[in-house]
């Protein structure tokens, strides 16, 4: 399973990429693969405030709805509007065109506390 080395990860299978003073958030290849065909992505309005581990919305597949959680305390900067018409991007390109949203962390250093790729890979092995 693809786990890019330059991203940070959560135990709830979100990935995080630093982009200036924002973070880009998506779900991992492992998560989208486990869910199957994604039919709908439910995302919060820009400007919403989120606490770390709050559900910020979720990803709907035919079989189930899975919550997506805020990786750190943050506010919503923008969402990936392409997903409204093409939710399958999350399946096809989870680390690229299938990104979910951009968040403005309260404290950018919080991102450092998330798992790196190696830790996430070990977590997946433990989890399965």
Partner 1 sequence: MSDETRALPLATRHADLGARFAPFAGFSMPMRYSSIKEEHLAVRRALGLFDVSHMGEIEVVGADAVSLVDSVVTNDCSALDIGQAMYTVMCHPDGNVVDDLIVYKLAEDRVFICVNASNRAKDLAHILEHSRGDATITDRGDDFVQLAIQGPLAAQVLDTLTDHDLSSITFFRCAEITLAGAPVLAARTGYTGEDGFELYIPVEHGEQVFDAVSAAGAPHGLLPIGLGARDTLRLEARLHLYGNELSDSINPIEAGLSWVVKLDKSTPFVGQDALRSIKSAGPGRRLRGFHCEGRAIPRPGCSIYAGDEVVGVITSGSLSYMLDTPVALGYVDIEHVKSESLEIDVRGRRVTGRLTTKPFYKTT
DSSP annotation string for 21-81 = TEEEEEE-HHHHHHH-SEEEEE-PPTT-EE-TT-EEEEEEESS-EEEEE-SSSEEEEEE-G
Position 127 contacts partner 1 (CB under 8 A): no
Q: 88 is written with which tokens?
A: 């399958």
Position 60 contacts partner 1 (CB under 8 A): yes
Q: 6 is written with which tokens?
A: 């330059």
3-state secondary structure at position 10: coil
Q: Which is nearer to partner 1, 42 or 73 (CB)?
A: 42
Task: Compose the 14-53 pattern: x for residues touching partner 1 by CB under 8 A, - for all others.
Answer: ----------------------xx-xx-x-----------
Q: Which is nearer to partner 1, 88 or 116 (CB)?
A: 88
| Gap between the Cα atoms of 21 and 103, Å rounded | 9
**Stretch in the footprint of partner 1 (CB under 8 A) among 6-14, 23-31, 61-69, 110-118:** 61-69
Total residues contacting partner 1 by CB under 8 A comes to 13
Q: How far is the CB of 38 from partner 1 (least distance, A)?
A: 10
3-state secondary structure at position 108: helix
Positions in the binding site for partner 1 (CB under 8 A) = 36-37, 39-40, 42, 58, 60, 62-65, 87, 91
């Amino acid at each position: 399973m693809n786990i890019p080395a330059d991203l940070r990860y959560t135990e709830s299978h979100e990935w995080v990429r630093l982009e200036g003073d924002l973070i880009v958030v998506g779900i991992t290849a492992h998560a989208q693969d486990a869910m199957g065909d994604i039919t709908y992505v439910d995302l919060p309005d820009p400007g919403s405030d989120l606490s770390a581990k709050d559900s910020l919305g979720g990803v709907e597949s035919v079989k189930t709805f899975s919550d997506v959680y805020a990786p750190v305390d943050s506010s919503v900067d923008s969402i990936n509007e392409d997903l409204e018409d093409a939710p399958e991007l999350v399946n096809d390109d989870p680390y690229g065109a299938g990104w979910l949203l951009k968040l403005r962390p309260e404290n950018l250093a919080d991102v450092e506390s998330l798992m790196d790729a190696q830790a996430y890979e070990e977590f997946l092995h433990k989890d399965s």
